[in-house]
Amino acid sequence: MTFRDIVLGGPLQRGLFHLRYQVLDAIHYRKRSPDQAAAVAAIRALDAPVVAFTIAFNIPEAVALLSDAMATLTPSIPLIVCDNSTDAEAARKIRAFCEAAGRTYCRLPKAPLVKFHSSRSHATALNWVLRNLILPAGVRRFATLDHDLVPLQAYDFAVKIKDQPCYGYVRRQDASRAWYLWPGFAVFDLDRIKPSKINFGTDRMLGLDTGGRMWGTLYRHMNEASFVPAQVGEGVVVIGEEEHLHLVFDIWLHVGQVSYREGNLALLAELRRRLARDPTSLSQIEVR
């Protein structure tokens, strides 16, 4: 094995990748948002067992549906909207919605050297939120939700972490036997997890997407055999004569890829109509 092989392969390369991201993240953590102080104060004033955070990205319709559905069906879980949009007009609409609906909103600062259509963008946004909103506000139990999720009925995150430190949708890399929670549907208890163990970064060398960095700091030290993950099914939404199939985590429908598929915006609109007409109709969506 040559020196080049040692440097450009294996654990050393993985360590160099992670060191680079740690430096960039440290720079990003120090950036401030004009909404930050007000958001921290609003979050600190909440009286809720679990506080949910979503990273908004360019689709006001998704944020509005998630927010309104949660306010109707899961009112005990406050939602904090953290805006990572690259489209200025979309960000303006998301802010306007939150202000009109009385939702806590925070425009996130841009991370250095990050392509916004990437897992890295989502990861840096979540890491910023952890260090600049969640921890300063004293939140002990928090959920991270994708902006295109929709609850179909009442739900309680606190019950899910009663007997374990975290909960959510498990993704895994069979080749390395590594597993992690997808941060689009996860909840963490900081009374049982040190904040230093939480890093939403990717681990490219192990083939792990957003949240995969926690395989090394958190998940590999847990007993996977006794860990209870979210139940995963397939929701069937019928619009006209067409069936639309989407993943469901417990009772949360994941519309999915609304930032890239125009057809899914029509599904958001249909779900919003059903929510406005009769919120209980969402619970009637078939889950296989």
DSSP strands (E only) in 192-239: 232-239
Q: Are 187 and 143 in contact (CB under 8 A)?
A: yes
Token look-up 């959920």 returns 143
Q: Are 235 and 286 in contact (CB under 8 A)?
A: yes
* CA distances to 67, 219, 264 from 270, in Å: 16, 38, 10
In angstroms, the CA 35 to CA 24 distance is: 22
Query: 234 pairs with which residues across the strands?
Result: 247
Q: What pTM, to 2 d.p., does this model score? A: 0.90
Residue from 286, 283, 284 nearest 69 by CA = 283
Predicted pLDDT at 9: 47
Predicted pLDDT at 3: 43
Q: Mean pLDDT per 10-residue run, the chain (288 residues)?
A: 45 55 69 96 97 96 97 98 96 98 96 64 94 98 97 98 98 87 98 97 85 94 96 92 91 84 81 96 94
Residue from 35, 34, 33, 83 nearest 59 by CA = 83
C-beta neighbour count of 64 within 10 angstroms: 22
Query: 286 pairs with which residues across the strands?
Result: 236
Predicted pLDDT at 219: 97
